[in-house]
């Protein structure tokens, strides 16, 4: 793994694990399992899905902080994530106030990180 790729993954992990959503889920996972009557493998799957999503969002945020503002195609190229998934994450992060529309770059809207 190239050094810059490793650095990008570490920045993404830092962003992901500082997420309020991840901290809440990890702190409440036992309660969620009991109240939701979830099997251990269901809890594990839930946590794995949330961590994957937050790692992807962390990767997007770290790219925006380091190289932004960026468009969906630029983010897709830099992260390797499909454009549709990038857009879904951007919408969620806009709702959370972590990302905002910066303006336009050519035919595309560009996004920037708002916190941190």
Number of domains in the chain: 1
What's the CATH code of the domain at 50? 1.10.10.10
Phi-psi region of 51 (alpha: psi -120 to 50; beta: other; left: phi over 0): alpha
Q: Which two tokens stand for residue 81?
A: 């994530």
The model carries a pTM of 0.79
Range of the domain at 17: 3-113
pLDDT in tens, the chain (116 residues): 588 777 777 777 777 777 777 777 777 777 777 777 778 888 888 888 888 898 899 999 999 999 989 999 999 999 999 999 999 999 999 998 999 999 999 999 999 999 75
Please give the pLDDT value at position 95.
93
Using an 8 Å Cβ cutoff, are 116 and 65 in contact? yes
- Least Cα distance to 62 among 116, 102, 2 occurs for 116
DSSP state of 107: T
């Amino acid at each position: 793994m190239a050094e810059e790729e490793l650095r990008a993954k570490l920045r993404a992990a830092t962003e992901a694990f500082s997420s309020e959503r991840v901290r809440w889920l990890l702190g409440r996972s036992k309660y969620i399992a009991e109240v939701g009557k979830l099997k251990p493998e269901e809890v594990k799957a839930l946590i794995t899905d949330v961590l994957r999503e937050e790692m992807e969002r962390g990767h997007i945020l770290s790219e925006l902080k380091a190289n932004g503002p960026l468009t969906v195609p630029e983010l897709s190229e830099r992260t390797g994530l499909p454009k549709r998934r990038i857009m879904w994450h951007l919408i969620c992060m806009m709702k959370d106030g972590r990302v905002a529309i910066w303006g336009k770059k050519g035919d595309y809207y560009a996004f920037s990180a708002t916190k941190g």
